């Protein structure tokens, strides 16, 4: 579903700039920011950067994922 909304031109320009860096569309960038904000409001104890990284990792293709292998502290000594 698509909905038209009016946004502040400064916000739109910031979204365009961020979208280029994140390889998203401007609309996708605004949706991403909205999702981060929604999750942040629901989880005020979590840092926004953690929320953003978690949402990005959840959107990654599962076929490209690698297994997490914990590092053994003894191996580093």
Render each residue's pLDDT in the chain as its tens digit; 77 residues: 788 999 999 999 999 999 999 899 999 999 999 999 999 999 999 999 999 999 988 887 888 878 888 887 665 55
Q: Tokens 């409001």, residue?
A: 41
Q: Report the alpha-carbon distance of residue 76 to residue 35 in Å, rounded.
A: 39
Domain ranges of the chain: 8-55
- What's the confidence (pLDDT) of residue 76? 54
Q: Report the alpha-carbon distance of residue 14 to residue 47 in Å, rounded.
A: 21
């Amino acid at each position: 579903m698509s909905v038209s909304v009016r946004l502040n031109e400064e916000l739109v320009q910031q979204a365009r700039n961020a979208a280029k860096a994140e390889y998203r569309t401007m609309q996708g960038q605004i949706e991403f920011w909205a999702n981060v904000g929604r999750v942040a409001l629901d989880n005020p104890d979590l840092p926004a950067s953690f929320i953003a990284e978690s949402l990005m990792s959840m959107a990654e293709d599962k076929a490209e994922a690698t297994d997490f292998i914990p590092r053994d502290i003894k191996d580093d000594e």
